[in-house]
Structure 1
């Protein structure tokens, strides 16, 4: 049945899923059974699991590394094209909708989504690693000033515009589907333009949601595993507790118990309070490092590193393993793209939920610039301080990097005043991020497996959280950080195809939305008309020239026939 333009412009809000609907039993059963099977295989058949995962990872990097690189570029370019095209005028809701949250609150929540375990883990470790062992394609000398600049440029490349473009496309598709079209809050609901409403509710839609669940489980498990590694290092520094696999497993168990308690008690206000506390503590740590570290050097690095990143964005974004090998690319760039893809359903759902009433242009510009700006400052302050301390000999951080990226943050803080106190605060930050990340990701997975319910059953949320913790624990036991990275890349491979199809579905709906305005007002459409006119003129000129040649040939034949 066709929909009138007025109905498309003013959709009704999506109906709240009824209690009778409940969880999708097929999706829950298949999803949990598959994740449990992977956990048991890794636990009971460690050697076979490690062999299969290593072989599969090598095959994926050798054959599909280009796909991750191209897909990431497509997401970034598409965000920019949509934001500055006629589609940017479309409002995520009714045409007369107002933003649900003010600009300040929206920016604060966006900033909160951009900070997490990953930035705590890699904020110091990644710049130091690239400084001591630069990317092969950079051609710079380790430990040099050029290596320091390259280290920050690659950190920006991995953490700013491209990952938030991945989140932005996902969040835009979900926000448009829910607030503009009035469909349910599921990834599969955004595929209605491609597969139809009936198939989106059948096994095809379930398959899409199942891939999103798998990606979220393993992507979040990677974050939880990184958090456990870093908390163990913090305990070793502040309390003298040795780092071991047993310590890391106990940390996962304790923090998972805290998450389960929050889920069962329904203390979402407590989680909200923890998120606010996290922002305050992160800001306090960053300001402390900025004031007591090399302040002038940090201020110098911000414009210099940002300029270098923008200048080298195209070469970095188009680099594959064709000329420099796949090992470094798989350990860094492709791992990051796979990690961001696996987090896309989780973060996309969050930023979609807080963006009701905003225009597409406001949404994309905010999503791309606000968290990216905060991340740039974080890396320049934390990573820049570490680079300065290492390059001037004020601290020996190379040994910490050799021990693992998780040790770099605490080694840098230990070189500054009251290092024990700031290390303790950093450890608390990682622990609270662990709890809030597990809570939020479990809620998203509970929603995906409950037909898009905004408030899925607590028992389902807890089950998904426990499975995530189990995946993180087993992968740590099997192979540590390498296993976490391998699992993330392998699971993200099919999901990258889903994300590319999501872009296609989104574009199809945006093109038909009356809120975008007439197509002739769009600059790209105007360019298309110019090209068509030019091509038409060329064809016309060619036709005229051919017509004149034929007339001359006919006249020549006529004159020859008339000749005696």
Structure 2
């Protein structure tokens, strides 16, 4: 055999396996290096069941909205109220559980596990990685809710507060409530899905699908009924979650254009034209392969948003905003238990608050988790779980919190100064009214409008590709016909749900999204259970178990035989005294996932199982 180590990473894996399999010797589960799905010949066929059922469900909602928008809105709102009343506890409990789970696996023994093979390196530098996460976290939702939500809680105190409306003491509580909803828990949900997908795809060699995460619970889940149902819901929650954001973007574009042009553009006509034109643009970008241009626009938008936040900080009440930073963060952590303990059975006020804010937003982040999670997975290969959890959860949360303090604090300050800052309709006016009270208002309003349009296009482009990928077995670049179909469906659903909302334009979007997110909440519970099983049987954890047992036995034996004067070596002992005496290293489940993947990639490589 040629002992020369191949240059490619996969070549190294093949070489290691051939050496392990020489003499018909099985590779030990503790020495399995891991394998990426990219290093196998796994096919990516169109999953006709997932594609057809998810598309049929989305088109059914569109047709219903066209035939009876009032009926859809009524049913959707009723279902949303039922979900909040009966499962509000589930959403709140789930986000807390996810945060605990992620910090445990990130800072416990599993934190050293790589999202890739043992010798894999990160695809991006830490700076580039953080920059891309930052770009993923800033979108239409932050531009919409950043200046608006804190103002809402300042005018109408949340149930967790007993302070008087619009009082000075209420400022930090209003900001803390907005940060809870928008800038903290969401990243734990994204990290769960992104981390689990990265682990399954780049370390276990599985298809990058939500159903693949359940392999420890039901093997070959991609081809089972349960797996198809899971992938269908993953497509649907992505569709409705993104459609909600696009609807918000369309409303803000309508308001911003009216302000910039000085013309009244209210009415459905402008919304229809706006969504139609932007849908054509993002479908073209999704199928044309102009990804470099889209990435350049996304990066430019990131710097544009940073510039807007610095502008608001420096031209607004700078000292007031800087004072709010430590005060708000301290208040946030101190008031976290009380903010999370609001439940619908307390009364009508609490139920309405949860339906309008907490439960609604938990459902929204859950619905975005397959979309954002898949993006995070792709850019996080080679990172350890400790790096992943630290950066993915904490860094974007810190940046988003600063955004909410700057823009939320600015709108509250303008309200306190009597500048007429109020909320019109669904609140799409707030960002533009804020800019209107700062210098160069026309220029900054145009920049905000440009940022929203770019966010609309890039988010829809990415979501279209993700839905296409999920309906084609995780294919990195979905086929053009499938991409076009999902792009058109996304635009139609966003338009129909927006128009079905009537006077409260967001209600139709939000009600369907919350209802669709409920079953996916149960799926996320299963993701945690399945991933925990995977991590428990990870080669690094197996090695750790051997090391702890060997050290424990070696120290006792060394002291007993040599007192203080001994060092460690490796000595063969009887089977019952070995470090792996209580571990079944012959369990095929511990290695078959790897040897099967290697066999698919190189049919000449075979592993015959014999005792070690």
Please, what TM-score do these two structures have when normalized by structure 2? 0.82
Please state if 1:210 is matched with 2:232.
yes
Deviations 1:265-315 (A, max 9, x none): 210111101110111110111111111101111111111101110111122
Deviations 1:495-523 (A, max 9, x none): 1000110010011111111313535999x
Q: 1:424 to 1:86 in 2, by over 3 A?
A: same
The one of 77, 81, 94 equivalent to 2:117 is 94
Q: Which residue of 1 aligns with 2:137?
A: 114
Q: Contact 1:116–1:433 (CA<8 Å) still a contact in 2?
A: yes
Q: 1:363 to 1:284 in 2, by over 3 A?
A: same
Q: Contact 1:86–1:521 (CA<8 Å) still a contact in 2?
A: no
Q: Which residue of 2 aligns with 1:375?
A: 400
Give 1:431 shift: 0.5
Q: 1:521 to 1:240 in 2, by over 3 A?
A: farther
Query: Counterparts in 2 of 1:405-484, with a 5 A limit?
Result: 405-479=427-501, 480-484=505-509
Query: Counterparts in 2 of 1:315-326, with a 5 A limit?
Result: 315-324=338-347, 325-326=350-351
Q: Contact 2:467–2:486 (CA<8 Å) still a contact in 1?
A: yes
Unaligned runs of 5+ in 2: 1-25, 549-612
In 2, Cα distance between equivalents of 1:377 and 1:168: 20
Deviations 1:416-441 (A, max 9, x none): 11111100100110000000000101
Give 1:3 shift: 7.4
In 1, Cα distance between equivalents of 2:307 and 2:509: 30
3-state SS in 2 of match to 1:339: helix
Q: 1:17 to 1:207 in 2, by over 3 A?
A: farther
Q: Contact 1:8–1:181 (CA<8 Å) still a contact in 2?
A: no
Give 1:319 shift: 2.5
Q: Which residue of 2 aligns with 1:263?
A: 286
Give 1:264 shift: 2.9
Q: Contact 2:252–2:428 (CA<8 Å) still a contact in 1?
A: yes
Which range moved further: 311-320 or 461-470?
Answer: 311-320
In 2, Cα distance between equivalents of 1:209 and 1:17: 22
In 2, Cα distance between equivalents of 1:520 and 1:162: 36
Q: 1:519 to 1:333 in 2, by over 3 A?
A: farther
Give 1:149 shift: 1.1
The one of 510, 513, 518 equivalent to 2:544 is 518
3-state SS in 2 of match to 1:136: coil
Q: Which residue of 1 aligns with 2:510?
A: 485
More helix, by proportion: 1
How many positions carry a matched residue from both structures? 517
Please state if 1:28 is matched with 2:51.
yes
In 1, Cα distance between equivalents of 2:547 and 2:149: 45
The one of 91, 106, 113 equivalent to 1:68 is 91
Which range moved further: 95-104 or 492-501?
Answer: 95-104
Deviations 1:390-448 (A, max 9, x none): 1122x2102xx133321000000000111111001001100000000001011111110
Give 1:7 shift: 6.1
Q: Which residue of 1 aligns with 2:388?
A: 363
Give 1:16 shift: 6.5
Q: Which residue of 2 aligns with 1:392?
A: 417
Q: Contact 2:111–2:384 (CA<8 Å) still a contact in 1?
A: yes
In 2, Cα distance between equivalents of 1:86 and 1:390: 50
The one of 400, 405, 426 equivalent to 1:404 is 426
Which range moved further: 428-437 or 89-98?
Answer: 89-98
Q: Which residue of 2 aligns with 1:335?
A: 360
Q: 1:195 to 1:53 in 2, by over 3 A?
A: same
Q: Contact 2:37–2:207 (CA<8 Å) still a contact in 1?
A: no
Give 1:492 shift: 0.3
3-state SS in 1 of match to 2:165: coil
Query: Counterparts in 2 of 1:21-60, with a 5 A limit?
Result: 21-60=44-83
In 2, Cα distance between equivalents of 1:116 and 1:291: 22
Please, what TM-score do these two structures have when normalized by structure 1? 0.89
Deviations 1:519-551 (A, max 9, x none): 5999xxxxxxxxxxxxxxxxxxxxxxxxxxxxx
Q: 1:21 to 1:286 in 2, by over 3 A?
A: closer
Unaligned runs of 5+ in 1: 523-564
Q: 1:159 to 1:54 in 2, by over 3 A?
A: closer
In 1, Cα distance between equivalents of 2:450 and 2:81: 37
Q: Contact 1:69–1:319 (CA<8 Å) still a contact in 2?
A: no
In 2, Cα distance between equivalents of 1:121 and 1:422: 15
In 1, Cα distance between equivalents of 2:358 and 2:338: 13
Query: Counterparts in 2 of 1:480-559, with a 5 A limit?
Result: 480-516=505-541, 518=544
